[in-house]
Structure 1
Amino acid sequence: MEMQRGPLTQHFLNTLEYVFILYFIHADKLRPVLKPLYLWNSIWIAMFGFGLVVFVRILTDWQLLRGRPGLWRHFYGDVDDSFLEQYRRMLTYEHGETSVTTGFSSGTMLLMMTAIVVSFVWFMFLA
């Protein structure tokens, strides 16, 4: 069985990559070394920026899936409704052999956005 490709798969892989990077940086060991050199701010700002990009991409697709394409159009430009409908179908894998419900896709995106926020808070304050 081959893994289906689509925006939801890409969001999942980006979220996984972000969480693994934050986990394997070992903030508890890195912070004491970089703080005296004033480099810790650069690390957390870069991690915040990377997380924000992943978060906003998921958020815009989530809004599109929920029937509110305004944010998606604001970030990606004005496109015709047929393109948005086709992209919405890709979010639920209707272009492939099997599809998932809109609720499943929406819940998955909410879970991924929560994982991004929780992992950044853990990285900054708890690790």
Structure 2
Amino acid sequence: MPQLDFVIIFPQIFWLCVCFALFYFILTFILLPNFLKALKIRRFILEKNLQNFESIINLNNKSEGKKANLLNKNLLRLSSNFLNLSRKLSHLSLNSQIIDIKIAKAILNLFLYCDHNILNNILFYPKNLNFKPKSR
């Protein structure tokens, strides 16, 4: 049988070992380290991005907390001002229900029929501060 001849088998085994060793060397010492390096770099980038994201979230939460505290303080101050105003107005003999109805109708009409440009052109001058409107 010619395929089992020693003259033919030994060169094939030799070249098989050489090719296997060459591919093993290329994979082990060239391709695999580059692949592992790319995986480590990706993991490092993901961890850094996650840390940056968490720090941004923490800063955002702190600023939102500060804004919420400031808003709560201002709302409490505003509610106390309204309570003081209602106490002062309760001593007067005003029919506040009629005034409230008129204000509610005015606000409803304002929201239904006015646009942003009209609202910007309406000037309000309180009488107690003695503002004089500017002539246009």
Structure 1 length as normaliser, TM-score? 0.25
User: Quick one: higher RCO (CA 8 Å, sep 6+), 1 or 2?
Assistant: 1
Structure 2 length as normaliser, TM-score? 0.24
